[in-house]
Structure 1
Amino acid sequence: MLGSGNVQLYEVKAFEEDFHSWFVGQTVQRDGKLLFVTPMDPLYLILPYMIKSGREGKFQPVDQVVKDEDFPASSRLLSCTRSITTLHHIAEEKEVGSLKFHRYSQERTMNWLKKKVERTVAALKKKNICVGEGVKSTTYVRVKSESDNQEEDYLRYAHGLISEYISEELSKALLKHLGLPELKSPTGTEPPSKKRKLSDKPVEAGEDYTKFNTADFARKPPKKMTAAQKSLAKVDKTGMKPMSSFFSPKTKAEKK
């Protein structure tokens, strides 16, 4: 979305939930959609065109660089107030007479993106927004009051926000420029049983469970006898009736 007057680029994000309405003044807005409009740096959209033309390794007029048959309106980016005046952040400039020529610069782009990350970190700290692994995602409240990796957490979080506007290749280059190692997902720590479930192959038992059905395995080991049980075992039980005989049903006397 391009603004009028002082031409400026805006990013519009829609927040929408089903069956919601809003009170606006004295009226009810039946459409529950909310639009968030934020000023956006046009260099983010000009950058892919500059990178593409930079592969030729020569200076070119910017109006010949920002051209797209699929998106003819892309040329309007050069009408933004900040576009021409800030191109030096991502490109080298050469002036011949009254004409200016530009060539993409990886070094300048990295420095420009690094400043974007640092400003984002400063804004997060100013708003007292805590980020990182020690944060409850629902409330953005840090679990631990202090963390040795707090600064790195902020850098990674800000890098993630900036990466939404640049290519994956450029995002990796920026991560390296910030001096942050790339994080790898712990796929190797996944339980073997879970890996088998995700596979298309039939699941087979990892062990022979039939051995548990043998008589030797079913027999329980003898329990240790207590001192009272040992002394009772030594008593002479000759002529003594078993305890079960006192609870057996009585038999009827036979008729004479």
Structure 2
Amino acid sequence: MDQPRVMPAPRTRRTRAEQKRETRDALIEAGLVVFSRDGYHGAALDGIANEAGFSKGAVYSNFSSKAELFLAVLDYNLGALRGEGWDPLASATTAAVGAPGTTGGDEREAEQLVRGFGLATLEFITTAARDDMLIPALRTRVQMLLDAYGRVAATHRAAEEDLAVDKVAQLMAALDQGASVLALSGVATVDGSLMRSGLRRLLGLPADAVDERSADRAGRASLLPTVEQVQRLIRDEPGDLDT
């Protein structure tokens, strides 16, 4: 007796919008790699397209210029600040230190890419600050940093603090971004413990105070990607660029 044939499950076809989103995400990931490797000025759109496995036309169907693509990469890096749960005061012992299965080689490569993208970001900032068309977009991204620190300052600042919340937030962001510049220059590296101590001092908190509510919400506000973000790209793991 013939056995009934088992028909394979029908393949779900991706919508046009889904395909466009996947292409855009792939270009953003490739942009992070190429900008990190070649710098903002040295990167070419056809090189980014090749890195992502597309034609140069795919870039222009998603981004009007190299600057717009770079801003999209910045948005990916800033994604963690869009929610309410980010808090830089969490203890180092409770913050996530890396994804499982990460190798030392991956971490070293990720650190190199983070540093390379930091240098590319400095290039972009000096370019955008002189371009009337790009200044508003740059200010929007920087304001995201200030808003994130403003939420932290409003929650944790001492009751007797005289400075307005937005001023405290500016000082916190300046400390954070200044630490990044020190690291990029190779002069010094501000580790997480020292950074938290500095931020607490700006908030008028004891240097060793730890808010237990922050234990699972640690992170830095930065225009730069985190090592964990880059490691995920190196391992080619699927991820939502908007998270």
Q: Normalising to structure 1: TM-score of the pair?
A: 0.24
Higher strand share: 1
Of structures 1 and 2, the one scoring higher in RCO (CA 8 A, sep 6+) is: 2
Report which of the two has the higher share of helix: 2
TM-score by length of structure 2 reads: 0.25
Larger radius of gyration: 1
